[in-house]
A = this chain, B = another copy of it.
């Protein structure tokens, strides 16, 4: 593609994206294609001769766009928010053009050092200690994997060299997290060769927070049984209900028991940028590692997971390994990002984060995050005030868990589950909003997660109107 063509198509795409951002509501949030539709609409093999970009983009609009679920729609209320914003898109554009591969400092001093700067800014905004060094990974799954790898490295001397199989000096290991912790903890445990059953799920309290007393009992019982506890994963903002584990008490237990404390604040950590919410990170200064994902609630396109630890040396001990072809003369003076992770290749993720923090400024971020939490409180109020709905969890952040429970009827648990399943399907079929569900106390629960920079009260109100309207259609006596 020659420069004039690149200019032409680049300008067209910029205009197309501006249009897309300006009118996200022209699309149904959730794609309406059926499995196989996209695949079947495309040729089975690559073209022999290259195609003009116009034709490629026409295919994109005809085939790909209908298969897009619009995470950018201000009515996207499912899972956790995962947004993008204009300055971040510009950052990704430049990053793709520069194509930095920051495995070594010398292969991209800019990406290596901007990562340190941007992560330092974010750390300070959240009020974490300056002793927390940062590194960017792709996802929280990979951040948590590294946290538990470091925990294993510290607890099991020689594990890097000797592994765990066929060792008679090594009892089965144990890790602990709440029953509400994210599935990435399970997956990391499996991948690390600890075995899924090494992960003990500790019951939560009535508000879905890990119970320190139950954790203490479990650790004692495991030690008595000859097992070796190595780590606790606390969650700040669990996936189902955004409950906040009592990190100060857990940190105390971890200190006494000499366990690695990893804090998964993938979604909620950024809320600490808001002074009134700073307390959600109480105790995190005593954590051994901490993950927060700007690609969730900080307007950063996937992927960018920020990992912090005061023990970067242990991560290096677990992972550093320099083959001949990657030795450099500056090894002492500069940090090489490849030394603190499983991935050798690293793209220039810091650029978009730096652009976002610079573009919004602390004040702009506080304002937007506060607005999301205020909208969640408003929605919670509507639920609380309605005789046919009930809220099923506290709302500490920007997610509300609730369900329909129409007055008057006699509802079994199962029939209420079925009703709520039908309700969410009816609401999502409309196209204006997309809500997801979970289970709390074993019951089907609806969730609304607010976090898009363009979400306004009217979008949240639209979700509420749809919920009440569709419920009335499903249960006419309401």
Contact = CB atoms under 8 A, between A and B. Distances in A.
A72 B108 CA distance: 12
A94 B20 CA distance: 10
A110 B67 contact: yes
B69 A100 contact: yes
A40 to B, nearest CB: 9
Contacts of A302: 99-101, 345-347
A89 B94 CA distance: 9
A359 B194 contact: no
A82 B101 contact: yes
Interface string A101-131: 1000111111011101100111011000000
B6 A17 contact: yes
A140 B172 contact: no
A282 interface: no
B163 A195 contact: yes
Given A93-B13, A192-B193, A324-B240, A121 B165 contact: no
Interface in A27-71: 30-31, 33, 35-39, 42, 44-51, 53, 56, 59-60, 64-71
A65 B319 contact: no
Contacts of A377: none
A301 B102 CA distance: 13
A31 B324 contact: no
A44 B477 CA distance: 61
A418 interface: no
A469 to B, nearest CB: 22
Contacts of A287: none
A85 B1 CA distance: 8
Given A46-B121, A87-B53, A345-B303, A191 B149 contact: yes
Q: Which secondary structure dominates where chain A touches chain B? A: helix
A10 B329 CA distance: 39
Interface in A307-347: 318-319, 321-326, 329-330, 333-334, 342-347
A254 to B, nearest CB: 20
Contacts of A124: 45-46
Nearest to A198: B163
A195 B79 contact: no
A438 interface: yes
A240 B56 contact: no
A262 interface: no
A84 interface: yes
Contacts of A13: 90, 93-94
Interface in A167-198: 167-168, 170-173, 182-184, 186-198
A319 B170 contact: no
A289 interface: no
Interface string A74-101: 0000110011111111101111111111
A1 B195 CA distance: 48
Interface stretch (A209-217, A360-368, A388-396, A457-465): A360-368
Contacts of A159: 193, 195
Contact of A90 (B9, B20, B358): B9
Contact of A195 (B113, B165, B357, B447): B165
Interface in A273-304: 295, 301-303
A318 B308 CA distance: 28
Given A9-B90, A145-B342, A191 B194 contact: no
A78, A82, A105, A195 pick with most chain B CB within 10 angstroms: A195
Contact of A165 (B72, B160, B164, B187): B164
A205 interface: no
A220 B99 CA distance: 45
Contacts of A113: 36-39, 67
Contacts of A84: 96-97, 99
Nearest to A142: B343
12 contacts: A35-B109, A37-B109, A46-B361, A47-B357, A53-B87, A92-B96, A142-B343, A159-B193, A161-B196, A163-B193, A165-B172, A193-B194
